[in-house]
């Protein structure tokens, strides 16, 4: 089965074609970073308009890349949520309309399920069951995964997500948008141990996260420090270490609680190299395995939507002709594949 995947939940337009036996056939991505940089964050109306301009040309480019025509597509998958409602509507309307016009089945895909399954695009693939850490600008969640659609939420952020805390702290430091990757780059020049940041909610039981207090601590530290570049780098290093240590501690707890030895890490923050190195060291000590998507599939992309949609289409799932989007959509609400 060849599936066209459409991702438009926020500020990236992602298009991909996935074949159930051959794998990924085409992948196109357009980022709106430059469009939103002057505003210091995503402007929903501008994001929606740009998706309208870019989606169809990228679909044409993906078909050309895969050397396919519309007649060769067997199904269409589109992100239905969670995300910005206007941006979601663009992808959902285009995806559902193309499927109707081509007389092909369509399926609505959960954005976070796409992230969770993105490591399935790599080799080797993680085997079920495993614990998944979904860590991005909008979500920080720990999930037990027993199969596609069989998800148990173990813990989540009660306020800011980890990626959101990265971006907000970077903005406090005067770094350009998108700030998270820039803060991580600055942290490479920092010295460990110069500043001591807390590891929030690690001194109590449970698997929930909280990063808003850490952001406040960073704001106070930045205000009290001098303007030297080395001081800024040291603060960035301390902040990154605090976030990563917190994530690692909670992952270790989740693995112990579930008795599992496999960890999947996905979402935009999963591209952070320090997080990857620290988690790899942790899993080595636990005699376990950790799996990631390649860096280009950590952020929003069409490949993860095409893959997730393909699995659900193969299982017989179909979207009706009504176009529905879900700005808020709990992962646990998804039905397991039969």
Judge if 284 and 326 occupy the same domain: no
What is the rounded distance in angstroms from the CA atom of residue 221 to the CA atom of residue 173?
10
Total count of domains within the chain: 2
The mean per-residue pLDDT over the stretch 167-192 comes to 95
**Residue 152 within a domain:** yes
- Binding residues are 111, 115, 134-138, 167, 180, 272, 300
The mean per-residue pLDDT over the stretch 250-264 comes to 98
Strands of 130-135's sheet, edge to edge?
A: 150-156, 140-147, 130-135, 262-266, 289-291
Judge if 57 and 102 occupy the same domain: yes
- Residue 12 reports pLDDT greater than 90: yes
Judge if 160 and 301 occupy the same domain: no
What pLDDT does residue 267 have?
96
Query: CB–CB of 117/308 below 8 Å?
Result: yes
**Residue 237 within a domain:** yes
Judge if 110 and 181 occupy the same domain: no
Judge if 221 and 74 occupy the same domain: no
3-state secondary structure of 77: strand
At 338, is the pLDDT very low, low, confident or very high (cuts 50, 70, 90)? Answer: confident
Judge if 20 and 149 occupy the same domain: no
What pLDDT does residue 172 have?
95
**Residue 270 within a domain:** yes
pLDDT digits (tens, 9 = 90+) for 136-165: 988 999 999 999 999 999 999 999 999 999
What pLDDT does residue 293 have?
97
Instruction: Output the average pLDDT for the chain.
Output: 97
Helix or strand run (H / E) with residue 108: strand 106-110
Q: How much of the chain, in percent, has pLDDT values that exceed 70?
A: 100
Judge if 87 and 162 occupy the same domain: no
Query: CB–CB of 287/280 below 8 Å?
Result: no
Q: Which domain holds residue 53?
A: 2-117+297-333
The mean per-residue pLDDT over the stretch 185-204 comes to 96
Cis, peptide link before residue 178, omega less than 30° from 0: yes
The mean per-residue pLDDT over the stretch 83-101 comes to 98
Judge if 136 and 280 occupy the same domain: yes
Judge if 199 and 93 occupy the same domain: no
pLDDT digits (tens, 9 = 90+) for 43-76: 999 999 999 999 999 999 999 999 999 999 999 9
Judge if 312 and 208 occupy the same domain: no
Query: CB–CB of 334/150 below 8 Å?
Result: no
**Residue 123 within a domain:** no
- Cβ neighbours for 106, distance < 8 A, ≥ 6 positions apart: 75, 76, 77, 78, 95, 96, 99, 100, 318, 319
Could you tell me the CATH number of the domain that includes residue 245?
A: 3.30.420.40
What pLDDT does residue 163 have?
95
- Binding residues for Fe cation are 111, 115, 300
What is the rounded distance in angstroms from the CA atom of residue 269 to the CA atom of residue 180?
8
At 223, is the pLDDT very low, low, confident or very high (cuts 50, 70, 90)? Answer: very high
**Residue 122 within a domain:** no
- Binding residues for substrate are 134-138, 167, 180, 272
**Residue 338 within a domain:** no
pLDDT digits (tens, 9 = 90+) for 288-323: 999 999 999 999 999 999 999 999 999 999 999 999
């Amino acid at each position: 089965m060849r599936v066209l995947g459409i991702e438009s939940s926020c500020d990236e337009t992602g298009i991909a074609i996935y074949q159930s036996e051959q794998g990924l056939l085409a992948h196109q991505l357009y980022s709106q970073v430059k469009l939103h940089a002057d505003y210091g964050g995503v402007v929903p109306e501008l994001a929606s308009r740009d998706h309208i301009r870019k989606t169809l040309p990228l679909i044409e480019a993906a078909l050309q890349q895969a050397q396919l025509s519309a007649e060769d597509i067997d199904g269409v998958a589109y992100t239905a949520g969670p995300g910005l409602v206007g941006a979601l509507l663009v992808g959902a309307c285009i995806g559902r309309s193309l499927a109707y016009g081509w007389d092909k089945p369509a399926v609505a895909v959960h954005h976070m399920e796409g992230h969770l399954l993105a490591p399935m695009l790599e080799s080797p693939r993680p085997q079920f069951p495993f614990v998944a850490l979904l860590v991005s600008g909008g979500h920080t969640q720990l999930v037990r995964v027993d199969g596609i659609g069989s998800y148990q939420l173990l813990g989540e952020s009660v306020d800011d997500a980890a990626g959101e805390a990265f971006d907000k702290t970077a903005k406090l430091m005067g770094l350009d948008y998108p700030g998270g990757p820039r803060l991580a780059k600055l942290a490479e020049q920092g010295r460990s141990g110069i500043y001591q940041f807390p590891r929030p909610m690690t001194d109590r039981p449970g698997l929930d996260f909280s990063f808003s207090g850490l952001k406040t601590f960073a704001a106070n530290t930045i205000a009290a420090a001098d303007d030297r570049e080395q001081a800024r780098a040291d603060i960035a290093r301390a902040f990154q270490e605090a976030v990563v240590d917190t994530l690692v501690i909670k992952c270790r707890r989740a693995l112990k609680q579930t008795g599992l030895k496999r960890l999947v890490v996905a979402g935009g923050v999963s591209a952070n190299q320090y997080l990857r190195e620290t988690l790899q060291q942790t899993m080595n000590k636990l005699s376990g395995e950790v799996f990631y998507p390649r860096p280009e599939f950590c952020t929003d992309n069409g490949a993860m939507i095409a893959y997730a949609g393909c699995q659900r289409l193969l299982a017989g799932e179909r979207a009706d002709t009504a176009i529905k989007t879900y700005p808020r959509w709990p992962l646990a609400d998804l039905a397991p594949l039969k």
